[in-house]
Structure 1
Amino acid sequence: MVRAVRWFLLFCVLAVAVIELKARFDRRPQDLPWTALRLDDPVGRFTAGKIAALGEAPAQCRALLAAAGTRDRAAPPRRPAPTCGYDDGMILAGGNARQGGFAPAGLVTSCPVATALLLWDERVVQPAARRHFGTSVTAFSHAGSFSCRRLYGRASGAWSEHATADAVDILGFRLTDGRTVSVLRDWPGSGQDAAFLRDARDGACRLFTTVLSPDYNAAHRDHLHLDTAYRGPGGWRACR
């Protein structure tokens, strides 16, 4: 009889724990790998992997961007070589009420990169700009996305995520008051510009699967490399 009571109490404890755990995950679906990505959810543990997975679902990806109110539009497919190109390119408009613009204009990235940039701008960059400068970012200075090349421009070896427009290089930011923040110029400092850049880098690590900054190596001394390489829903991420 005593043993039966103990088993019953153990069952009750486990049942309560399961119910509490389910309630927690119901409140935070972004922390489960199998739930659908919703752009109005808080950023969660699996958000970056879900964004990267949109590379296999371009229609879903574009629908998410349209529902978010962006003015981004589909780019024509581009396949200059069998190992390079994209079918899910987006021409990034930016510059609306929800986003900063891009300089130079006409930036084309894969749809997952466009999605990650939208959330990075809204959830990370703009709050950081208000926190450090009391103003907003009006433009992202960039060095482009698509480039049909291997890693570091080598003649052989693995292909860069730029080869499929699944990466973008951010050089700096222009603020509403006309000031600029440059990765090359301001990263080595210790003031608010450097602090802002590090906040932007750290926040990007929750949305992109690879984030490389000047802390990584000299090849990235002048930009933040952001990409959406897909390594599975719970795959590893690089943040340097």
Structure 2
Amino acid sequence: MDGIFRAALALARQSKRARAAAGGLAALLALAAVSACNTGNVLALEPAVDVGAQTAAVPQYSGMQRLVPSNPYMTQAAYPRMDEPMSPVEQMPASETDCRQQLRRLGATFTDLAPIHEGQCGIDYPVKVTAIGSVEMKPAATLTCDMAASFAAWTKNELVPSARWRYFSGVRTIHQGSSYSCRNIAGEGVLSEHGKGNALDVMSIELNNGDDIDVRKPGLFAFRTRGFLNNVRADGCQYFTTVLGPGYNYDHRNHFHFDIKNRKSGYRACR
């Protein structure tokens, strides 16, 4: 009987030690798990540093390394600041791009110029037109794209066919006297459409057959020239909001003035 009691007592003591060892092991595993999930000092009860959305608010202590993107495409070179101005080409509105495509369809030869700004005058997106199809522009005209497109359409659809019908000849050169020019309307304190790049003055029209048709009022018996110039003036009213020429006033005695001034109710001044 005494042997059985001693054996039972020894077994109980071994079970107690096993439970204590198991409990200690569990505590150590729990402590390791907490340490793995916490960037602070667990034993000293120091809080971990948040490196998430609030990182910018965490002071940059000495010895801390500033966070940088791990993706090389997320650098400043790949993603420039959105508040920095873009280049003029990137900023060109769709309407200006479409207008240049129209100019090319009309056969115009042109180059884009840097923006022009001088006082109250200027053109945001100027073009310099040197030719319309086979028709040279002398000197080259600096205009808004809209004015250049209007003039190119008039030249191609009206001026050239009229010259062929009246003179049996094509047009070689359009001699212009003023495109962009920063000035007021003569005798008035109002900015001229020339100062906006919306106007062009035609002085003479040179034909392939050698004729040079001056816009000045033709002589009494110059029937063909008068008919041609009358066509030029009348047809221009379909493309421009202003057409002024000889007979309107003294300032327009020697040229045709064409412009695309924005007028209310679609009014056109053709005189």
TM-score (ref. length: structure 2): 0.61
Query: Is 1:187–1:197's contact at 8 Å kept on the other side of the alignment?
Result: no
Of 72-81 and 181-190, the range deviating more from structure 2: 181-190
In structure 2, the partner of 1:161 is 193
Q: Which of 89, 103, 108 is the matching residue for 1:70?
A: 108
Q: Which of 219, 223, 227 is the matching residue for 2:251?
A: 219
| Residue 170 (structure 1) aligned with residue 217 (structure 2) | no
* Structure 1 residue 121 displacement after superposition: 0.8
Could you tell me the percent identity over the aligned residues? 29
Describe the superposition over 1:142-161 as per-residue Cα deviations: whole angstroms up to 9, x where unpaired. Answer: 10211111111x4x621100
In structure 2, the partner of 1:4 is none
* Structure 1 residue 96 displacement after superposition: 3.0
- d(CA) in 2 for partners of 1:187, 1:77: 43
Query: Is 1:214–1:224's contact at 8 Å kept on the other side of the alignment?
Result: yes
Counterparts in 2 of 1:107-126, with a 5 A limit?
107-126=141-160
Q: 1:189 to 1:142 in 2, by over 3 A?
A: farther
Query: Is 1:209–1:229's contact at 8 Å kept on the other side of the alignment?
Result: yes
Describe the superposition over 1:4-62 as per-residue Cα deviations: whole angstroms up to 9, x where unpaired. Answer: xxxxxxxxxxxxxxxxxxxxxxxxxxxxxxxxxxxxxxxxxxxxxxxxxxx99323212
- d(CA) in 1 for partners of 2:160, 2:171: 6
- Computing the radius of gyration from Cα coordinates, the structure with the larger value is 2
Quick one: which amino acid aligns to residue 157 of structure 1? G
| Residue 59 (structure 1) aligned with residue 107 (structure 2) | no
In structure 2, the partner of 1:88 is 125
How many residues end up aligned between the 2 structures? Answer: 179
Aligned to 2:180, the other structure's residue is in SS state coil
- d(CA) in 1 for partners of 2:156, 2:178: 20
Q: 1:95 to 1:211 in 2, by over 3 A?
A: closer
Is there any run of 5+ residues in structure 1 with no aligned partner, and where? 1-54
Q: 1:189 to 1:214 in 2, by over 3 A?
A: farther
Counterparts in 2 of 1:41-60, with a 5 A limit?
57-60=95-98
| Residue 149 (structure 1) aligned with residue 187 (structure 2) | no
Aligned to 1:124, the other structure's residue is in SS state helix
| Residue 203 (structure 1) aligned with residue 235 (structure 2) | yes
Query: Is 2:129–2:148's contact at 8 Å kept on the other side of the alignment?
Result: yes
In structure 1, the partner of 2:170 is 136
Q: 1:220 to 1:187 in 2, by over 3 A?
A: farther
- d(CA) in 2 for partners of 1:214, 1:63: 34
In structure 2, the partner of 1:103 is 138
Describe the superposition over 1:124-167 as per-residue Cα deviations: whole angstroms up to 9, x where unpaired. Answer: 11111011100011110110211111111x4x621100111110
Query: Is 2:106–2:133's contact at 8 Å kept on the other side of the alignment?
Result: no
* Structure 1 residue 235 displacement after superposition: 1.4
Query: Is 1:167–1:227's contact at 8 Å kept on the other side of the alignment?
Result: yes
